[in-house]
Protein backbone atom coordinates (compact mmCIF):
# COMPACT_ATOMS: atom_id res chain seq x y z
CA UNK A 1 0.00 0.00 0.00
CA UNK A 2 1.32 3.44 -0.91
CA UNK A 3 0.93 6.50 1.34
CA UNK A 4 1.67 10.13 0.45
CA UNK A 5 3.15 12.56 2.94
CA UNK A 6 6.39 14.21 3.91
CA UNK A 7 9.66 12.89 5.33
CA UNK A 8 12.50 13.78 7.64
CA UNK A 9 15.78 12.04 6.85
CA UNK A 10 18.61 13.15 9.08
CA UNK A 11 18.57 16.96 8.90
CA UNK A 12 16.67 17.07 5.60
CA UNK A 13 12.91 17.67 5.76
CA UNK A 14 10.42 17.41 2.88
CA UNK A 15 6.82 18.47 3.40
CA UNK A 16 3.64 16.94 1.99
CA UNK A 17 3.26 15.86 -0.84
CA UNK A 18 6.93 15.29 -1.66
CA UNK A 19 7.33 11.82 -0.13
CA UNK A 20 5.69 8.43 -0.53
CA UNK A 21 5.91 5.36 1.65
CA UNK A 22 5.26 1.96 0.12
CA UNK A 23 4.56 -0.84 2.59
CA UNK A 24 4.68 -4.28 0.95
CA UNK A 25 4.89 -7.86 2.18
CA UNK A 26 8.68 -8.02 1.99
CA UNK A 27 10.00 -4.44 1.99
CA UNK A 28 9.47 -0.82 2.90
CA UNK A 29 10.25 1.87 0.32
CA UNK A 30 10.50 5.57 1.00
CA UNK A 31 10.69 7.97 -1.93
CA UNK A 32 11.54 11.63 -1.30
CA UNK A 33 11.50 13.79 -4.41
CA UNK A 34 13.42 11.56 -6.86
CA UNK A 35 15.47 9.69 -4.22
CA UNK A 36 14.36 6.13 -3.42
CA UNK A 37 15.28 4.27 -0.21
CA UNK A 38 14.40 0.58 0.06
CA UNK A 39 14.65 -1.56 3.17
CA UNK A 40 14.08 -5.29 3.30
CA UNK A 41 11.67 -6.42 6.01
CA UNK A 42 14.51 -7.89 8.06
CA UNK A 43 16.28 -4.49 8.05
CA UNK A 44 13.27 -2.78 9.67
CA UNK A 45 13.47 -3.18 13.45
CA UNK A 46 10.09 -1.51 14.01
CA UNK A 47 7.81 1.31 12.94
CA UNK A 48 6.72 3.72 15.68
CA UNK A 49 4.05 6.39 16.06
CA UNK A 50 5.95 9.70 16.15
CA UNK A 51 4.89 13.20 17.18
CA UNK A 52 6.99 16.14 16.04
CA UNK A 53 6.57 19.82 16.89
CA UNK A 54 3.88 20.41 14.27
CA UNK A 55 3.28 17.03 12.66
CA UNK A 56 2.68 13.37 13.35
CA UNK A 57 4.02 10.42 11.48
CA UNK A 58 5.84 7.12 11.59
CA UNK A 59 9.44 6.75 12.71
CA UNK A 60 11.37 4.06 10.85
CA UNK A 61 13.79 2.26 13.18
CA UNK A 62 16.09 0.17 11.02
CA UNK A 63 19.52 -1.36 10.46
CA UNK A 64 19.76 -0.61 6.73
CA UNK A 65 22.76 1.27 5.36
CA UNK A 66 20.88 3.08 2.57
CA UNK A 67 18.85 5.34 4.87
CA UNK A 68 19.92 7.73 7.65
CA UNK A 69 19.31 6.32 11.10
CA UNK A 70 16.87 9.20 11.77
CA UNK A 71 13.97 8.69 9.37
CA UNK A 72 10.37 9.80 9.85
CA UNK A 73 7.50 9.66 7.37
CA UNK A 74 5.07 12.53 8.08
CA UNK A 75 1.41 11.65 7.61
CA UNK A 76 -2.06 12.66 8.78
CA UNK A 77 -2.84 8.93 9.10
CA UNK A 78 0.02 7.30 11.03
CA UNK A 79 -2.29 4.77 12.68
CA UNK A 80 -3.46 3.59 9.24
CA UNK A 81 0.16 3.16 8.12
CA UNK A 82 1.02 1.25 11.30
CA UNK A 83 -2.05 -0.99 10.92
CA UNK A 84 -1.09 -1.85 7.32
CA UNK A 85 2.54 -2.47 8.31
CA UNK A 86 1.43 -4.75 11.15
CA UNK A 87 -0.96 -6.57 8.81
CA UNK A 88 1.88 -7.51 6.44
CA UNK A 89 4.21 -8.55 9.26
CA UNK A 90 6.30 -5.54 10.30
CA UNK A 91 6.85 -4.96 14.00
CA UNK A 92 5.05 -1.80 15.12
CA UNK A 93 4.62 0.34 18.19
CA UNK A 94 1.43 2.35 18.02
CA UNK A 95 1.34 4.02 21.41
CA UNK A 96 0.81 7.74 21.05
CA UNK A 97 3.37 9.56 23.16
CA UNK A 98 2.04 12.65 24.89
Q: Does residue 65 sit within a domain?
A: yes
* pLDDT tens by residue, 7-44: 999 999 999 999 999 999 999 999 999 999 999 999 99
Q: Over 60: is that where the pLDDT of 97 sits?
A: no
Boundaries of domain holding 56? 2-93
Q: Does residue 69 sit within a domain?
A: yes
Q: Does residue 84 sit within a domain?
A: yes
Q: Does residue 88 sit within a domain?
A: yes
Q: Long-range contact list for 48-54, CB < 8 A, 24+ apart?
A: 48/92, 48/93, 48/94, 49/78, 49/79, 49/82, 49/93, 49/94, 49/95, 49/96, 49/97, 50/78, 51/96, 51/97, 52/8
Counting the structural domains of the chain, the total is 1
User: Could you tell me the CATH number of the domain that includes residue 18?
Assistant: 2.30.29.30
Q: Does residue 29 sit within a domain?
A: yes
Q: Does residue 98 sit within a domain?
A: no
pLDDT for residue 98: 39
Amino acid sequence: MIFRGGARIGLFNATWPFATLNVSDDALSLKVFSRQYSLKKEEVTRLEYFRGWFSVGVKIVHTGAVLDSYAVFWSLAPTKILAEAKRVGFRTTDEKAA
